Amino acid sequence: MTGAGGCAFPSKRGLVVPSSSPTSETFTEPESDVTVTGCKVDFADGTLEAKLSVHNGNSRSGATYNGTVVFNDESGDYIGGAVFSVERVGAGETRPFPVSDTFLKGGHEPKHAKCTLRPLLKAHLNG
């Protein structure tokens, strides 16, 4: 999924929205469920790519994850950002998920990128 560059969110806090009353079910925070497994910039093509691993740590319900990957260069300067949504990840399921964006090439040629997740939202699904 290609995201729109330059998107910003005001908060880093995750949101967990249970679909039913609390039970003995295990609910995990979205920050513990989504990790960056790869991050790269291709200056020649003007592309950014992050590889995510999404693991739904819930014991019984599926979940949908929404968030933003922010790309920064080796100096910490902002290069771009991509909004993502990973839908219907089953309880206990792990799913790889690529996120990409493009950036305007200019005088600055980043050689490396650092990817950061901001903010993550998780909605629990029935079943």
Topology at the third CATH level for domain 15-125: Immunoglobulin-like (2.60.40)
Q: Measure the CA–CA gap between 88 and 61, rounded to whole angstroms.
A: 10
Mean pLDDT over residues 64-84, rounded?
91
Q: Measure the CA–CA gap between 83 and 9, rounded to whole angstroms.
A: 10
Q: Check pLDDT > 90 for residue 1.
A: no
- Domain regions of the chain by residue span: 15-125
Beta bridge partners of 108: none
Q: Measure the CA–CA gap between 97 and 34, rounded to whole angstroms.
A: 10
Residue 24 pLDDT grade (very low, low, confident, very high; cuts 50, 70, 90):
low
Per-residue model confidence (pLDDT) at position 57: 92
Identify whether the C-beta of residue 127 lies closer than 8 Å to the C-beta of residue 69: no
Task: Please tell me the least confidently modeled range out of 11-15, 31-35, 59-63, 123-127.
Answer: 11-15
Burial class of residue 81 (count of CB atoms within 10 Å of its CB; 0-12, 13-18, 19+)? buried
Per-residue model confidence (pLDDT) at position 107: 64
